[in-house]
């Protein structure tokens, strides 16, 4: 009798991946039976669009959590970037400069986060929690609490809405962009020196420092990276909604963190797989969508997300206790 190679199951991230696949199949099966609208083309497209935005945010969150950090400011970043881009477009600024200005917002937020954590030695949780409040307040002050509609923009693409609402080869552009971001972040984490250093810093910061890695420089790079990725989502959301609102992006940080931890990353750093994060985003997207189709309220969605986050963190804690 052939021996089963159990070592493959012990590989980093494999058990989490199998669990996510099983969850995915179960959820699709359950919601397909409970509501005939679930497997319609329009509904699957809606799941793909919503999951794409969170998936891009979660790809950046994966990097920062692997490094041993945290970023709660991503949702507020999405809002501020969106209103900056929308206000510039509304006032006749060409699309490319407007988008670049929005990405500069991300750079600034990332620099503030990174320097506060590396130079001032403020805890990442406290730093990004404060920035979450500050950046959201700036977006509200900037707009007076109202949305900026985008009309009559001068196109670089067929029109600005192509980014958020366009279709390319029968697939939404947002899905193509998620794939692009996922490929880039996957290569960065798994095929570059920077990626290996990010894992090393998250795994054992003191050992990484002794080995010659510039900890402060790498952490600053990570926070700028996640902020720029997130600000690009702000651009995409403004494109999709044809407006910039100071109220969008609320809860993005918790959805992204839930996906990363559900995908098997450790809150202590040094562990995580981007492909698992993307699978977890899809699972959460299907769960949210199914709850909506069943006629349940957003409160039920929040309850389900909270339970998922609690379970994910609990599993991570159990893994760390076993490792110790």
Residue/partner pairs of 299-305 with CB below 8 Å, 24 or more apart: 302/251, 305/251, 305/254, 305/255, 305/258
pLDDT given for residue 194 in this prediction = 92
pLDDT given for residue 272 in this prediction = 84
Please give the Cα distance from 289 to 34 (Å, whole number). 12
Please give the Cα distance from 132 to 138 (Å, whole number). 10
Please give the Cα distance from 304 to 287 (Å, whole number). 8
pLDDT given for residue 75 in this prediction = 92
pLDDT given for residue 9 in this prediction = 43
Residue pair 205/215 in contact by the 8 Å Cβ criterion: yes
- DSSP per position, 181-196: HHHHHHHHHHHSHHHH
Give, in order, the Cα–Cα distances in Å from 133 to each of 50, 108, 122, 129, 215: 24, 15, 16, 7, 27
pLDDT given for residue 2 in this prediction = 46
Rg (CA), the chain: 20
Q: Mean pLDDT in each 10-residue stretch from start to end of the chain (324 residues)?
A: 47 67 85 87 88 93 92 93 91 88 92 94 93 94 83 53 81 92 93 92 88 91 94 91 87 89 83 89 88 80 78 70 62
DSSP annotation of 264: T
CA dihedral in degrees (290, 296, 297, 300; nearest 10)? -70
Which residue is it, tokens 């409160």?
299
Domains of the chain, residue spans: 42-147+156-250+267-272
First to last CA, the chain: 36
pLDDT given for residue 146 in this prediction = 81
A 10 A CB-CB count for 1 gives 3
């Amino acid at each position: 009798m052939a021996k089963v190679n159990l070592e493959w199951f012990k590989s980093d991230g494999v058990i989490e991946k199998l669990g996510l696949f099983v969850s995915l199949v179960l959820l699709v099966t359950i919601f397909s039976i409970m509501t005939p609208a679930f497997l319609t083309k329009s509904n699957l497209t809606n799941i793909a669009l919503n999951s794409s935005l969170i998936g891009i945010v979660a790809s950046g969150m994966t990097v920062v959590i692997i490094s041993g950090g945290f970023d709660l400011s991503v949702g507020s970043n999405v809002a501020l970037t969106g209103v900056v881009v929308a206000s510039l477009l509304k006032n006749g600024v060409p699309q490319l400069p407007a988008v670049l200005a929005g990405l500069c917002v991300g750079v600034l937020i990332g620099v503030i986060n990174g320097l506060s954590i590396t130079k001032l030695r403020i805890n990442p949780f406290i730093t990004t929690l404060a920035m979450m409040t500050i950046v959201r307040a700036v977006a509200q002050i900037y707009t007076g609490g109202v949305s900026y509609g985008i009309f009559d923009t001068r196109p670089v693409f067929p029109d600005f809405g192509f980014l958020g609402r366009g279709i390319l080869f029968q697939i939404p552009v947002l899905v193509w962009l998620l794939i692009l971001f996922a490929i880039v972040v996957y290569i960065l984490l798994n095929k570059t020196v920077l990626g290996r250093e990010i894992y090393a810093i998250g795994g054992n910061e003191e050992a990484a420092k002794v080995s010659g890695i510039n900890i402060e420089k790498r952490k600053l790079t990570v926070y700028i990276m996640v902020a720029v990725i997130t600000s690009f989502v702000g651009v995409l959301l403004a494109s999709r909604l044809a407006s910039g609102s100071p109220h969008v992006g609320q809860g993005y940080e918790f959805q992204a963190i839930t996906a990363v931890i559900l995908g098997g990353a450790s809150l202590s750093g040094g562990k995580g797989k981007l492909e698992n994060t993307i699978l977890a985003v899809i699972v959460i997207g299907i769960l949210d969508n199914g709850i909506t189709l069943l006629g349940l309220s957003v409160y039920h969605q929040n309850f389900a997300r909270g339970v998922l986050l609690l379970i994910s963190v609990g599993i991570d804690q159990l893994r760390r206790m076993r490792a110790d």
